[in-house]
């Protein structure tokens, strides 16, 4: 346990000392908040002109997280940088020499980074919710409404899981450019196409981002045939992440630094 404590402190020092990772988290928070407030303001102005069906299925809570897609981008970058920076600089050799137990090394790195992202993500989620609901005016939701608190906490969980999944992929690939070159198109192009094309929607809904984002929904869209609920979707995202972590650990354990 003493070794684990020392490694945790070491990983915390690494994250704090790299400006790019700190700035990335700050960017994620600001972009998510500003975009969410902007979208909520526009929705409030156009609400009366919406079709009645859309008004009845309007999810005031989820709309405040409209900036989560851009915030997600920053979290992916953060996750990749946390892991791949050591490979880029060659520091990974010193780290593994100091902590030869690779499972301990990986666990501590991921634990510190994920805990940090969750704290930042949770604070961002609550701030975005309250700011967004203020912008919605009379169409706002309240934290005590059914499902709302779960959705707001879910925003923090979603951001943390997205960063953890990105860290797992970066552990597998080691290269920041390769990791970002795969993750960015996957989440912002492939997932979007599969989720919006009728022939592939059934596949798209099981991708980690689409499944995980269900935890931020309070109102189920009209004619939504998704066979799982908020926690079911989040469980699918966790499953993807665990699988990536297992592969990442196996490769880390077998390869040279």
So what's the pLDDT on residue 165?
97
So what's the pLDDT on residue 257?
57
- The per-residue pLDDT for range 125-151, each reduced to its tens digit, is 999 999 999 999 898 999 999 999 999
- The per-residue pLDDT for range 6-61, each reduced to its tens digit, is 888 888 888 888 777 788 899 999 999 999 999 999 999 888 888 877 777 889 99
So what's the pLDDT on residue 1?
53
Percentage, residues of the chain above pLDDT 90? 55
- Binned at pLDDT 50, 70 and 90, residue 253 comes out as confident
- What's the whole-number average pLDDT of the chain? 89
Instruction: Please determine, for residue 2, whether its predicted confidence score (pLDDT) is greater than 70.
Output: no
- Binned at pLDDT 50, 70 and 90, residue 157 comes out as very high
Mean local confidence (pLDDT), 182-206? 86
| Residue 233 near residue 212 (C-beta atoms within 8 A) | yes
| Residue 95 near residue 245 (C-beta atoms within 8 A) | no
3-state SS of 217-239 is CCCCCCCCCCCCCHHHHHHHHHH
Give CA–CA dist 112/108, Å, rounded: 6
- Which of 87-91, 168-172, 217-221 is predicted most confidently? 168-172
């Amino acid at each position: 346990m003493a070794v684990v404590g020392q490694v945790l402190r070491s990983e915390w020092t690494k994250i704090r000392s790299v400006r790019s990772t700190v700035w990335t988290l700050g960017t994620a928070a600001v972009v998510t908040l500003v975009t969410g407030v902007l979208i909520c303001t526009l929705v409030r102005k156009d609400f009366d002109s919406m079709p009645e069906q859309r008004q009845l299925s309007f999810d005031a809570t989820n709309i405040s997280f409209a900036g989560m897609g851009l915030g997600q981008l920053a979290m992916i970058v953060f996750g990749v940088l946390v892991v791949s920076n050591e490979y880029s600089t060659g520091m990974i050799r010193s780290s593994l020499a100091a902590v030869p137990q690779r499972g301990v090394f990986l666990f501590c790195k991921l634990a510190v980074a994920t805990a940090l992202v969750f704290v930042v993500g949770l604070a961002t989620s609550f701030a975005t919710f309250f700011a967004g609901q203020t912008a919605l005016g009379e169409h706002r939701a309240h934290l005590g409404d059914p499902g709302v608190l779960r959705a707001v906490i879910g925003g923090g969980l979603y951001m943390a899981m997205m960063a953890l999944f990105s860290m797992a992929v970066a552990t597998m690939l080691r290269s920041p450019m390769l990791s970002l070159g795969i993750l960015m198109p996957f989440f912002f192009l492939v997932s979007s196409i599969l989720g919006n094309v009728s022939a592939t929607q059934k596949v798209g809904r099981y991708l980690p981002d689409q499944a995980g984002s269900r935890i931020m929904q309070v109102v189920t869209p009209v004619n939504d045939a998704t066979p799982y609920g908020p926690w079911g979707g989040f469980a699918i995202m966790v499953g993807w992440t665990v699988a990536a972590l297992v592969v990442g650990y196996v490769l880390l354990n077998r390869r040279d630094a």
